[in-house]
Amino acid sequence: MLDKDISILVGSVHTSVNALRSTSIVYSDMLVLTGVGYRVELIEPNILRFDVGYSHFVKVRVPVGINVVVDNTSMRRTLTSNNKKLRGDTLYKISNVRKRNPYTGAGIVIISEIDSLRKLKSTKSDKTK
């Protein structure tokens, strides 16, 4: 009986510590736009407007609690938040505006997910050389 009460208390204390820790930690990630003519603008404090090769602009609303820093020189966007889940959901929503082309590398990419590009299929003339 005593072990069960202790395990309940340990779980409660663990949850409380995680809640306090999450308010003091700031999570951040970077988004990179790669592609000819791809741009993003912060048109209002919580709205991003993407020009990523479609015939129209794509607007994405950034939820309250997410801070966006736009660096136009390096085409990098930094998202910071205390809420890890909210930041991850927002990153996923933004990266789905234009998924990365695996052959050319054009698109919106989260820095932590950058991997190598696929190689194009070789033709017979390439094999004989």
pLDDT in tens, 51-106: 988 899 999 999 988 888 877 777 678 888 888 888 889 988 988 999 888 888 88
What pTM was estimated for this model as a whole? 0.67
Phi, psi of 121 (to 5 degrees): -65, 140
The domain defined by 25-112 folds into Outer Surface Protein A; domain 3 (3.90.930)
Phi, psi of 118 (to 5 degrees): -75, 155
Domain boundaries of the chain, sorted by first residue:
25-112
Do 61 and 47 touch, CB atoms closer than 8 A?
yes
The pLDDT value recorded for residue 61 is: 93
pLDDT in tens, 17-64: 766 665 667 778 888 888 888 888 888 888 989 998 889 999 999 998
Given a cut of 90, whether residue 14 has pLDDT beyond it is no
Cα–Cα distance for residue pair 68/46, rounded to 1 Å: 8
The pLDDT value recorded for residue 120 is: 58
β-pairing, 27-34 vs 47-51, is unpaired
pLDDT in tens, 111-124: 766 655 566 566 66
Cα–Cα distance for residue pair 42/63, rounded to 1 Å: 13
